[in-house]
Every structure is written in structure tokens, then in C-alpha cells.
């Protein structure tokens, strides 16, 4: 199998546009809450599961909704499937609003296509019910076709589906993003990629308009004091204003290598000290074939014709040359130097590792 390799050079120069603060930080206290519940999908066309828990769950549901008591063994199989229902309660979802839900088969159901999810309670980590699903069709964006001989063809993933707006919020868990510290109203910004330089630049950008209102606590935390001139009804407007400032993000010098997918990402601040690289290729060819062995003397008693495997191994080594790599400080120069060598992406992995050992690569290597 041939792998396709990609060398991606990410350049961040001094002339590059900055990123908005809202795109590189998270406001402390503003987050979603995961919800989960076990439900039942009905109406399946012989694609449900054959598990006893599904039958027991259906019998219990029918018992609660009528006077007739059913034995789980008397219920048909294949038309229902026990599923895990998951959702996320957003930080600003109010009671009565709708949220999306994901439905995943638990048992051996082959497809949820065409099924309807019955009402299911969705609970948080504390065991409290925060949402209830509505009876709605499960969208799998897939299909499955089975033949009489057992062969089947499936598109996408038919045992996982989604219902847009499939649950009603029954209980709120609103986020509180403003803290009261020492009598001051404080908003905390958390950098998604911690960096001292970027954190300091965020502090300077906010301080340029709101002096003495910012405290950079560490490489990933910036605390912003809301000025007394900002009223309680203007706090959201204040946060929106400071989050819209542009800040130049400082990118660390790092080379990321994913050998499984064939991707090499070189950061914009990666530099190589002056060095020399010799590139060569070793090619090993192995040929397997079968030879027919005949008896050396005709009509010899007990002699038979035999098939003997034969292997041929040939080793070729292409000549390489010692190429000088100048002292480079930008991604463009780095790309030109590597292209001059004519190295393939597979060669680049060995070159980067060798440069790191030699102390010539001024970057960190991350293997995925």
C-alpha cells in the first residue's frame, strides 16, 4: 500500500494578521455539561437487537402505560433496540429550549435506520434530570442492504444517529463567568495553548484601553477586572469588547510528525543552524519464484518432479552527496533548503531527527 505524504509548512511572520482574543481563549465558567440516558428505539425493520435487556425494557415500558402485564419472552425481537442517548447542555440553554441528541446502539442491532426514539430522561453527572427527549425519528445518514445468503452492503455508520433539537431542557445550569474577588468583579480568560508571550500580549492589548485592569497570572491565565464605570447591565458588552481585540499569537518552534498519516507540520519559528546533510537511498528488492526440479537421471526409480521455491535478493544503493544547509530563520528558507536536497517526506523524518540529535534543529519534535 502506497502512503501519501504531506509536508505542511505553517508560517507566522511579523506581518501576519493577529487573532481575536475570543478565538484563542476560553472564559472561565462558560462551558457545557454532558448529559446521558438509556433509551429505546422502536419501529425497526428486523434490524434491532436480540438482547434480553431490550425486551425487559420494552415490557417495563408497556407495563407502566397499561394494565396488561407482558412477559419479555413473549415480545418480538428485531423491531426494537436499546440505545445510549447523549447530549450537551449548553451554558445558556434555558428551560423549554431544544438541544441536539446523539443515539448509539448498545446491543447487536445492525441499523437504527427508520426507528423512532421514545421519550428518554437525560441526566447529568449528579444524577439529576436536565432534559427529556421527544419522540422523533433517528437520522443515521446511512443505509444497509442484506441479501438472503447473508451478504450485506452498508453506507456510513447505521448504528449511530442524531436527532436535531431532539430534547427539551427541563432544568437550567447557567454559567457564572463573573467572580467577586476582593470586592472587584473579575473575568478570567484561559488560553487554549498556554504561552507566556501570548498571555502578556493579551494583557497589553486590554490595558491599552482599560489601564490597571489586567493581571497576567501565568502563561495560561489572564484575570481582567471590570472597571467601576461599567454598570451591571453593561458587563456583557464589556466582555464582548475585550474579546474582540486582535493579538498576535506567538507560535512555538515545533515539528509535528505523524508517520501513520504521512503528515509533517513545521511551525513558523523553526530554525536550522548551518549544517551539512548527506542524502542517499537504499533499495532492497526481493523476488520470489518457484522452480521445477526434474530428476537428473531419466526413469530413476523413486524419483519425482518437485517444485522448489527460489528467492532472489538484490540490493541497490543510490549515491548521495553532502549538501550544505545554510543558517535559516524562516519557513520559506527552510522549505527551499529541504527542496534543494530533494528529500522525500520519509527522508525528512530521518533528517529532522538527525538534525535534532546534532543540535542543529532549533525546535521540539512531537511524534503523533
Domain end call among 169, 203, 236? 169
Are both 40 and 162 inside the same structural domain? yes
Q: Hey, what's the torsion of the CAs at 126, 132, 138, 140, to 10 degrees? A: -30
Q: How far is CA 9 from the centre of its chain?
A: 21
Residue 243 domain-assigned?
yes
How far is Cα 69 from Cα 63, in angstroms, rounded to an integer?
A: 6
CA separation for the pair 271, 103 (Å, rounded): 48
Alpha helices in 266-344 (DSSP H): 331-341
Claim to verify: residue 89 and residue 194 sit in the same structural domain:
no
- Backbone torsions φ then ψ of 340, nearest 5 degrees: -65, -35
pTM value is 0.66
Residue 218: inside a domain: yes
Task: Please say if the pLDDT value at position 223 is more than 60.
Answer: yes
SS3 of the chain: helix, strand, coil, percent, to 5: 20, 40, 40
Boundary-marking domain end, from 127, 145, 169? 169
Looking at the structure, do residues 100 and 126 belong to the same domain, yes or no? Answer: yes
If one compares 134 and 271, the residue with the highest pLDDT of the two is: 134
Look at residue 333 and tell me if it is in a domain: yes
Identify whether 299 is part of a domain. Answer: no
Rounded mean pLDDT, 167-193: 90
Which of 140, 169, 198 terminates a domain? The answer is 169
Q: Is residue 294 part of a domain?
A: no
CA 1 to chain centroid, in Å, comes to 25
Same domain, 258 and 336: yes
In a domain, residue 84? The reply is: yes
What is the structure's pLDDT at 5?
Answer: 44
Q: Are 156 and 47 in the same domain?
A: yes
Same domain, 120 and 62: yes
**Closest C-alpha among 187, 40, 34 to residue 116:** 40
Whether 351 maps to a domain, the answer reads: yes
What range does the domain containing 62 cover?
33-169
- Whether 165 and 181 map to the same domain: the answer is no
152 in a domain, yes or no?
yes
Q: What is the CATH number of the domain that holds 198?
A: 3.90.1150
- Shared-domain flag, residues 142 and 211: no
> 117-167 pLDDT, tens per residue?
999 999 999 999 999 999 889 988 766 666 555 556 666 788 899 999 999
- The count of structural domains within the chain is 3
Do 224 and 318 lie in one domain? The reply is no
Question: Looking at 83-87, 90-94, 302-306, 327-331, which range is the least confident one?
Answer: 327-331
Same domain, 130 and 161: yes
236 or 157: which leads in pLDDT: 236
Residues 259 and 164 in one domain: no
Question: Which of 321, 320, 318, 311 has its CA nearest to residue 283?
Answer: 318
Q: Are residues 60 and 95 in the same domain?
A: yes
Which residues make beta-bridge pairs with 116?
Answer: 42, 137
| 124 vs 258: which has the higher pLDDT | 124
Go through 184-209 and write b for each residue having 16 or more CB atoms within 10 A of its CB, e for each that does not.
ebbbbbebeeebeebbbbbbebbeee
- Rounded to whole angstroms, the Cα distance separating 235 from 258 reads 44
Question: Which residues, 6+ apart, have CB-to-CB distance to 170 below 8 Å?
Answer: 95, 129, 130, 131, 132
Amino acid at each position: 500500500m502506497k502512503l501519501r505524504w504531506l509536508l505542511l509548512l505553517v508560517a507566522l511572520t511579523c506581518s501576519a494578521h493577529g487573532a481575536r482574543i475570543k478565538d484563542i481563549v476560553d472564559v472561565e465558567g462558560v462551558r457545557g455539561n454532558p448529559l446521558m440516558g438509556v433509551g429505546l428505539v422502536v419501529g425497526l425493520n428486523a434490524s434491532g437487537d436480540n438482547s434480553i435487556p431490550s425486551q425487559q425494557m420494552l415490557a417495563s415500558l408497556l407495563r407502566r402505560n397499561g394494565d396488561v402485564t407482558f412477559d419479555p419472552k413473549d415480545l418480538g425481537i428485531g423491531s426494537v433496540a436499546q440505545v445510549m442517548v447523549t447530549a450537551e447542555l449548553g451554558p445558556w440553554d434555558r428551560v423549554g429550549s431544544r438541544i441536539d441528541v446523539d443515539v448509539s446502539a448498545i446491543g447487536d442491532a445492525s441499523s437504527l435506520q427508520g426507528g423512532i426514539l421514545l421519550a428518554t430522561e437525560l441526566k447529568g453527572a449528579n444524577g439529576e434530570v436536565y432534559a427529556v427527549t421527544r419522540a422523533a425519528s433517528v437520522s443515521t445518514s446511512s443505509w444497509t442492504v442484506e441479501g438472503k445468503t447473508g451478504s450485506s452492503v452498508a453506507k456510513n455508520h447505521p448504528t449511530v444517529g442524531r436527532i436535531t433539537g431532539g430534547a427539551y431542557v427541563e432544568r437550567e445550569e447557567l454559567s457564572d463567568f463573573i467572580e467577586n474577588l476582593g470586592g472587584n468583579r473579575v473575568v478570567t480568560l484561559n488560553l487554549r495553548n498556554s504561552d507566556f508571550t501570548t498571555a502578556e500580549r493579551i494583557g497589553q492589548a486590554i490595558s491599552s484601553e482599560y489601564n490597571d485592569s489586567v493581571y497576567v497570572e501565568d502563561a495560561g491565565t489572564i484575570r481582567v477586572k471590570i472597571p467601576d464605570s461599567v454598570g451591571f447591565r453593561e458587563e456583557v458588552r464589556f466582555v464582548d469588547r475585550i474579546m474582540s481585540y486582535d493579538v498576535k499569537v506567538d507560535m512555538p518552534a515545533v515539528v509535528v510528525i505523524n508517520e501513520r498519516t504521512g503528515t509533517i507540520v513545521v511551525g513558523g519559528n523553526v530554525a536550522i543552524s548551518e549544517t551539512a546533510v548527506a542524502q542517499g537511498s537504499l533499495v532492497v528488492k526481493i523476488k520470489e519464484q518457484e522452480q521445477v526440479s526434474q530428476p537428473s537421471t531419466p526413469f530413476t526409480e523413486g524419483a519425482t518432479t518437485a517444485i522448489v521455491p527460489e528467492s532472489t535478493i538484490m540490493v541497490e544503493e543510490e549515491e548521495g552527496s553532502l549538501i550544505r544547509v545554510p543558517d535559516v530563520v524562516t519557513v520559506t528558507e527552510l522549505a527551499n533548503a529541504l527542496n534543494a536536497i530533494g528529500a522525500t517526506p520519509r527522508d525528512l523524518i530521518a533528517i529532522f531527527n538527525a538534525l535534532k540529535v546534532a543540535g542543529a534543529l532549533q525546535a521540539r519534535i512531537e511524534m503523533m
